[in-house]
Amino acid sequence: QIQDLTFLIKNYCLTELYLNNNELTDISGALKHLRALQILLLHNNQLKKLDKTVKELKGMISLQTLNLFHNPLAQDPDYRLYVIYFLPSVQLLDRKSVTQRERESALHLYNRERSCVVQSIAFGKRVNTPLGTAVGSSRCTQPARRLMMPSDNAHLLCSFCRIPFENPEDAILLRAMTRSLMEFSSVDWNKVATCRERRLENKVEEPHEKLTVRFR
């Protein structure tokens, strides 16, 4: 029948915490200092706010096992993908392994811009979405991340220097947005008459079929 977690304020080194089957309604400010936590069981409680609960757990970079089922917040239609996206270290959620397909779906739902960039790098398409647009899902409350470009006054860089990005993924994002146009054309040369054939047959040559593919 635990309802308050203030007694955990000094337990910084906990790696496993079993709080299932209690009467917790809110964990805000009670667990975020537990950075070493690897297993956290919170099922069968009365947690109602999905965003507040996940926000409290964001600092747990070692968290691998998490149970939140049988809480009111688990009734949210996007509950599982929301947890997977904002708590990427979790490998086992509600006794079910997190799959790569679920991670891709969560990325597409809560960071549509990054998802499009990943696809553009894989398939040679250019993304025309402007940087810094809002995230595609109504469930998310924060905007998509912007590129952290250095100021012009801070660095004087020659054309051979690399721009110092705070996050290496920003360099990939910028490269995808500025990719140059490429074009490939192919012709079935078996259907193209040679110079000798054109002289001997003395007839108008039909236009050739040429396949052209453009991508960035």
Provide the residue count of the chain: 216
Taking only Cα atoms into account, the Rg of the chain, rounded to an integer number of angstroms, comes to 27
Q: Could you tell me which of 120, 121, 123, 146 has the C-alpha nearest to residue 133?
A: 146
- Distance, in Å, from the CA atom of 4 to the CA atom of 73, rounded to the nearest integer, reads 18
pLDDT for 215: 64
Q: Identify whether the C-beta of residue 17 lies closer than 8 Å to the C-beta of residue 34.
A: yes
pLDDT for 110: 83
Q: Identify whether the C-beta of residue 17 lies closer than 8 Å to the C-beta of residue 45.
A: no
pLDDT for 6: 83
pLDDT for 176: 63
pLDDT for 114: 65
pLDDT for 134: 40
Q: Could you tell me which of 59, 58, 100, 108 has the C-alpha nearest to residue 83?
A: 58
CA distances from 30 to 12, 34, 156, 216 (A): 11, 9, 46, 49
Q: Phi and psi at residue 215, in whole multiples of 5°? A: -160, 165
pLDDT for 186: 77
Query: Residue 185: enclosing H or E segment and its boundaries?
Result: strand 182-187
Region of residue 53 (phi > 0: left; psi between -120 and 50: alpha; otherwise: beta): alpha
pLDDT for 197: 75
pLDDT (tens, 9 = 90+) of the chain, 216 residues, equals 888 888 888 888 899 999 999 999 999 888 989 989 999 999 999 999 999 999 999 989 899 999 999 999 999 888 999 999 999 999 999 999 999 989 888 888 887 766 565 555 554 444 444 444 444 444 544 444 444 444 444 443 333 344 455 666 666 666 666 656 667 777 777 777 777 777 777 655 666 677 777 665
Exposed, middle or buried, 4 (CB in 10 Å: 0-12/13-18/19+)?
Answer: exposed
Q: Identify whether the C-beta of residue 50 lies closer than 8 Å to the C-beta of residue 73.
A: yes
Instruction: For the beta carbon of residue 57, count every other beta carbon within 10 angstroms.
Output: 22
